[in-house]
Amino acid sequence: MNRLYLLGASLVPLLGATRTLSEGATIGVCAVLLSSLHQLLMPPLRRRSVTWTYVLASLLVLAALASCLQLALRAWLLPLALSLGHYPALLCLQCLAIDYLLPDQGAGACSPATFARCLPHACCLVPAANGWPTVSACTWPAWPRAPCYCSDCCWPCTIACVRALPNHVIKESSDFMNAAKRLEIFRRLHEDNPDPKTELAYTTPFELLVAVTLSAQSTDVGVNKATARLFPVANTPEAIYALGVEGLSEYIKTIGLYNSKAKNVIEACRLLIERHDSQVPQTREALEALPGVGRKTANVVLNTAFRQPTMAVDTHIFRVSNRTGIAPGKTVLEVEKKLIKFVPKDYLLDAHNWLILHGRYVCQARKPRCGSCRIEDLCEYKHKTSDD
């Protein structure tokens, strides 16, 4: 199956080459004709001192010849492109890719119904405004490829999606983990820890906002030590703002980047007092308008303090999502969106804490503790280790 999949994929560049072949051949042959006509027409024109009418006529003849040549080339290349597009191995490539990436669900996917669905969409290779395929609309191997106008996921789209995945994701996991496996992963995480909590110490949404802001490039343990000194003295926007940058710095100087963090916290306190009546806003837009608050910090506050179904992706969650195959992605935002989409709704509110704790204590960066992992049999990581 893998060999057949690779064989089908290797034929795809032939389709993308049709545009280059067509235009290259057109330009080359037209250049030869132009040179020949130039040698044939120009000497008589010079001897007879003809007017510009003859020059214009010769140009029109050249244009007509070029147009006819282009039509002839396309008349030959169109059947070639369509024959390649209807090649059975390529038509069923969607099914083969599913078999390759998801063996437990791909068996039998290459059915007559699937074949019939793929057949009309061969025009995705060469879409045209009039509905009839032309030769040169496929942009393979350039990325992004020409837009696909079909309603189903035909084989060019499937190959494009597979080709767009990062290499480590294709090798270590797939973007096609089935829903039942995801559900079982989170069921086990819930069974082991029914009420997961953040390790940052806080009692109010404002304290959480300050703690998360201070936690950038710092450990939760270090932040908790700093806030244990700060919050008994000042734990409201007014009280912290009254400390000023220098006063606040004295309490948080044990954590990294404390000077810039102190400035951000003081300015955020000022804005909370002026714009939000000293209350922490409950929208991402309002939170991100505060100094030192990015998308991840806003998501943590919304999820932890206000129990909104957001997903803050840090380095631990990014690693776990890609390793296990729960929600692989190239960027933090891509992983966040996939987690929101794929995590079962019943577990979404606590998924952030489960994944971050799992990445911090089990699925560690350098040496994951696969031997003691509760979801080891469900994980799609290919380089599993023992705890020895």
Asked if residue 278 has pLDDT above 50, the reply is yes
Residue 302 neighbours by CB under 8 Å, 6+ apart: 282, 284, 287, 308, 310
108 against 226, higher pLDDT? 226
The predicted model scores a pTM of 0.55
pLDDT of 217 reads 86
Cβ(297)–Cβ(217) under 8 Å?
no
Domains of the chain: 2-164 (no CATH), 168-388 (1.10.340.30)
19 against 277, higher pLDDT? 277
How sure is the predictor about 81, in pLDDT bands with cuts at 50, 70 and 90?
Answer: low
Helical ranges in the chain per DSSP H:
2-48, 52-85, 88-91, 93-101, 103-106, 112-118, 155-164, 167-172, 179-192, 205-214, 220-230, 237-252, 258-275, 284-288, 295-304, 315-324, 332-342, 348-361
| Model pLDDT for residues 129-179, shown as the tens digit of each residue | 333 333 333 333 333 333 333 333 444 444 444 444 444 443 444 445 888
CA–CA distance, 328 with 170 (Å, rounded to integer) = 9
Can 99 be counted among the known catalytic residues?
no
147 against 24, higher pLDDT? 24
Q: Does 150 carry a binding-site annotation?
A: no
Q: Does 370 carry a binding-site annotation?
A: yes
Mean pLDDT for all residues in the chain: 74
Asked if residue 13 has pLDDT above 90, the reply is no
CA–CA distance, 6 with 287 (Å, rounded to integer) = 48
Q: Does 363 carry a binding-site annotation?
A: yes
In terms of phi and psi (left: phi > 0; alpha: psi -120 to 50; beta: otherwise), the region of 173 is beta
What average pLDDT does this structure show over 214-234? 94
Question: Out of 99, 296, 338, 350, which one is annotated catalytic?
Answer: 296
User: Would you list the DSSP string of 214-243?
Assistant: HTTTS-HHHHHHHHHHHTTT--SHHHHHHH
| Model pLDDT for residues 188-220, shown as the tens digit of each residue | 999 999 999 999 999 999 999 999 999 988 999
Can 384 be counted among the known catalytic residues?
no
| Model pLDDT for residues 280-294, shown as the tens digit of each residue | 999 999 999 999 999
Question: Out of 99, 175, 261, 314, which one is annotated catalytic?
Answer: 314
Give residue 210's identity as a one-letter amino acid code.
Answer: V
| Model pLDDT for residues 351-384, shown as the tens digit of each residue | 999 999 999 999 999 889 999 999 999 998 888 8
Q: Does 379 carry a binding-site annotation?
A: yes
Question: Among 198, 173, 205, 195, which Cα is nearest to 347's?
Answer: 195
Question: Among 277, 272, 254, which Cα is nearest to 210's?
Answer: 272
